[in-house]
Amino acid sequence: MKVSVSKAPLNVHALEAIGFFVPKTSKEKSATALSALAGVVATGLDGDFKANEGDVLTLYPQKENFNAKRVMTLGVGETFSIDALRKSAAAFATKVREMKLPKVGLDLTDLESIAQATNEDEAYLAQVVVEGFEFGLYDFNKLKTDRVQALKNKKHKSEPKFEFKELVLITTASSLKAVQKGAEVGEIIGSTQSMVRDLINSPSNYMTATDLANAAKESGKKYGYKVTVLDKKKIQQLNMGGLLGVNKGSTEPPTFSILDYTPTGKPKATIALVGKGITFDTGGISLKPSENMSDMKSDMSGAADVIGAVEIAARLKLPIRVLGFIPATDNKPSGSAQNPGDVLTTYSGITVEVDNTDAEGRLILADALTYAIENYKPDVIIDLATLTGACVVALGYQAAGLFTNNDELAEKLLKAGFRSGEKVWRLPLWDDYDKQIKSEVADVKNTGGKGAGAITAAKFLEKFIGDHKAWAHIDIAGPSFPSLGASGAKSSSGFGVRLLAEVLRSWN
């Protein structure tokens, strides 16, 4: 998607549509202004258009000197906010995609007053708008053919899939540089999140552990950071019993990918990111119900987020070192699969009783956490995983669960969550929960029984960080899964990309 910025007057742009943000508090004022500018029928704003977040009303200009074919009013709710702008831009893009409009614009001529209303700088607001537009424009259609679409439409000639060409941000001379700066960042974050969503939405026969590793290598080659992929033989040499145990039932070999973006000059900090890369989760011998099992192709969302975050760090040339660690495998039942009751020895040397083979994500993360800390000694380590249904029960689909042993890190992540629109909420890590994962035959077991499932999963992971003082675990199961998230996405939301981008960009 091309994003351009213009200070030319609104009426001169030959576009398929121009979107105008309209809060409830100024519907009448907006109607009058749009009537004067384009001759649109103002009564539509009084009746059909409620100006709620995500509302879109299409109107048709009547003035000859207004060159855009359509005017679309975009509701932002009672008043302007970052979330409202992002959601409204996404709703606009979704409408544009549905109508197959290749080139459209957005009115940012009043950006200065929006900045005052939201207490945000103009560059960040432009970034948010572009992120939102990219989010709403997204459509996973890589596996659809033009011929199939033609047959659906009962035509003999194939129709090409819709390709959006350009978004024009129309602003003033005084805001031009800020909008250009913000649009550039927004396009990088938005396009990277779309790439991550493609990875997550890919069916498991297109996204094996090897495919995931290759995606990391492709990103590293394109954007100039180092990627090392350890194969099964090397994983065996390292005695990564958690990853190997989960992989026992699979015909696909596991991979362990290490991503390394290092800036020029001395980095301000070294941040390690660990992502759960279960490319498909049947539950193993502890088999899941068949209903909605197809969503388990997205159990590698944390891994995809890590690729996205390292890519963003490289593209923005951030002054921090960002490391990514991705243990990857599927979790399948077979004659060779691990059984409930088996005992594994992890990379750390800690033994684990496998109480339930469907609690597999924490097993592969255990190896990766210890490996990252012992071999790279990061200042901060953050893991992301679609880890537990219990976290969905606790927080729904609106927020991810946050567990951390560091209050300062918690504050950074909470703030970044609200600002990025990808919210997290802190849950306890009290030692009271340790007894639930006590094993009679090993050092620890991988489930804690009924109650506090998200917490006992986090307590399990805590066993593998040693004495590291700045670790956070983010359970993204609720907001990231296809068809379930509160983002409005019909497929994976790519939750976590904007959150990590905000944390990394604001690091000091």
Q: Is 147 among the catalytic positions?
A: no
In angstroms, the CA 166 to CA 174 distance is 23
Instruction: Provide the greatest CA pair distance for the chain.
Output: 81
For 40-65, give the DSSP string.
Answer: --THHHHHT----TT-EEEE----TT
Identify residue 203 by its one-letter amino acid code: P
Task: Kindly report, as residue ranges, where domains of CATH 3.40.630.10 are found in the chain.
Answer: 193-505
The closest alpha carbon to 487, from 113, 147, 54, 25, belongs to 54
- pTM summary value: 0.95
Please identify which of the residues 288, 415, 490, 505 carries the catalytic annotation.
288
The tens-digit pLDDT sequence of the chain (508 residues) is: 999 999 999 999 999 999 999 999 888 889 889 999 999 876 667 677 889 999 999 999 999 999 999 999 999 999 999 999 999 999 999 999 999 999 999 999 999 999 999 999 999 999 999 999 999 999 998 888 765 555 566 555 555 678 899 999 999 999 999 999 999 999 999 999 999 999 999 999 999 999 999 999 999 999 999 999 999 999 999 999 999 999 999 999 999 999 999 999 999 999 999 999 999 999 999 999 998 899 999 999 999 999 999 999 999 999 999 999 999 999 999 999 999 999 999 999 999 999 999 999 999 999 999 999 999 999 999 999 999 999 999 999 999 999 999 999 999 999 999 999 999 999 999 999 999 999 999 999 999 998 999 999 999 999 999 999 999 999 999 998 754 444 455 678 999 999 999 999 999 8
Q: Given this model, what pLDDT does residue 481 score?
A: 73
Taking alpha carbons only, the member of 417, 395, 398, 407 closest to residue 472 is: 407
- What CATH number does the domain located at 2-171 have? 3.40.220.10
> Rounded distance, CA 299 to CA 492, Å?
11
> Which of these is catalytic: 87, 197, 332, 362?
362
Phi and psi at residue 400, to the nearest 5°: -95, 155
Domain with CATH 3.40.220.10 in the chain: 2-171
User: Does 435 qualify as catalytic in the annotation?
Assistant: no
Query: In terms of DSSP bridges, do strands 321-331 and 255-261 run parallel, antiparallel, or are they unpaired?
Result: antiparallel
- Hey, what amino acid is at 301? S
> What is the CATH topology of the domain spanning 193-505?
Aminopeptidase (3.40.630)
Q: What are phi and psi of 200, to 5 degrees?
A: -70, -40
